[in-house]
Amino acid sequence: MVIWIVGLSGSGKTTLAKIICDKLKQKMLHIDGDLVRQMYEKKLGHTTKDRLTNAGRISRLVEILSRQNINIVVSVLSIFPKWLSWNKKKIKNYFEIYLKTDLKVLKKRKPNIYSGRKKNVVGLDIKFNEPKKPDMVIKGCKNIKELKSKADIIIKKLNLN
């Protein structure tokens, strides 16, 4: 099983992924896009080109692991429709979740990212392509309690208990 969580920075992707992993007690491996970016010797920036490289790395890594029956929760921006489509074709038992959060909320939550002072910010100067036909859309979670509730719904829906 692969649970792929998509959303802008500050939407709660990593938090939701960690909650799911904690609730399932060692049944899931968590892969975070930022950690994969740091893992490789050739450091990547946040340009569209570097983001595309990282997206391919993450999708291919997850596909390889999933073929070995490793359950994975992925938390990543996923701004390239090409890679989300690739995931749906190549990864068995793939479940895509879109954490849809209003940019106004994100600006309050992550002012250091969305202040306009940084370059290559998805949602500001890099276009965010909302996922087409995700398996689940979660709108505007305001706190950890709401994310925990959504994690319970996801676990029940996917019969992961």
How far apart are the C-alpha atoms of 10 and 31, rounded to whole Å? Answer: 17
| Amino acid at residue number 68 | Q
Q: For residues 10 and 101, what is the distance between their CA atoms, to the nearest angstrom?
A: 9
Active-site position among 11, 59, 78, 85: 78
Judge whether 59 counts as a catalytic residue: no
Residue 19's closest CA among 78, 73, 81, 99? 73
Residue 157 phi, psi (nearest 5): -60, -40
Residue 116 burial (C-beta neighbours within 10 Å; 0-12, 13-18, 19+): exposed
Active site residues: 78
